[in-house]
Structure 1
């Protein structure tokens, strides 16, 4: 039985990468530190490696409750320490009385530096307090290059990890029925919008499933998928409970803004 049949075709490349990481640790008896992985990638890694007798692995993203985390794979005789994950926390200093900084602006400015998304962890915003996690290997580069976000000039302060702002993870649970698990149909039910509207925002590149942009309205959603739509927030398919007498899928989902 192939490991690939448990996943979507577009996830095959990442599965191969996970297998390569595992083999590196096995063959070199040395640890392997990954970039920041999103929750779907973490789930794939967990499934592919599982409880391996010779390779252990742990996740850390800088603070409790974060989504994006680095993974350390290491031989069974070693133990992982927090500093092994090489995560740095930056605070953004800006004119808070005159400027409002949003999550998308921070991410856009970081990506404009020419670095991969995997080099950055979660972006934390609590009122006017804005922070982000980054991989230690790019910390000096960020300090030298990131001078503005949007139109605002900024400064950076490196902070102890324990100074990260708190993260409130609150999903409002709901139960609904859908005629199919197509992305446009599921979005219509979860975000309480028309199917035509859901098709428009999908086709305009404003929707992600498991942190990957999806423009195919017929994309088949599954249990555990996280769907985010610009301007509508985020929803998670918690459980697909089967079909009703009218041949519709009964879905338990969570939603948050």
Structure 2
């Protein structure tokens, strides 16, 4: 268990990293303001490729702001962000998406007046019909129930069904990294379990950065964690280390473990 004071050696002015051991995503001393409020106060993080990294902390710690900063929705004022070795900070959101970063926001961000099928087709508008079918089949394997409401308007779905659609949209193109914000929020326990099972399967196909308040979900899905408090790094390490550190989880998460 250690604080997240990370080197900047993985950050390059341009181009992509050819080193498979290099982190897929790096944040180095990132500071983000919302208006006059200094929300992120030097966040550093490395997201390893092929794994699920969970960002943890109390409400208001800066977790959602971290994801929005990565996606360029709230540009950082200082610090550096890199994806596959290429600097991202200052880049427009749609260009970040084209690099292969998918984002499932806390409010799910689906088009409520469109059907589920239309939502997915819109997300996959840049892929061929054959690839669309393959990706759709993959999503319905993750979420079998989704086949029942493909022609239903997304706004009429339950919270759990909308979450399935939101996550599936992020899988309809060739994303390398998926940022997922609070997928269990407001869901019934049985639906949370379905989302956990889907994420466990999903992380063998795509790198995940997950923000989650549900410590049970985080402990099952996550391989690595970063813990932030009041916009600062507190600790990072393997999820097993965090599960076994009862003092840390009580102090910053209000739980004694799972």
TM-score by length of 1: 0.23
Greater RCO (Cα-Cα under 8 Å, separation 6 or more): 2
Larger strand fraction of residues = 1
TM-score by length of 2: 0.23
Whose Rg is larger? 1
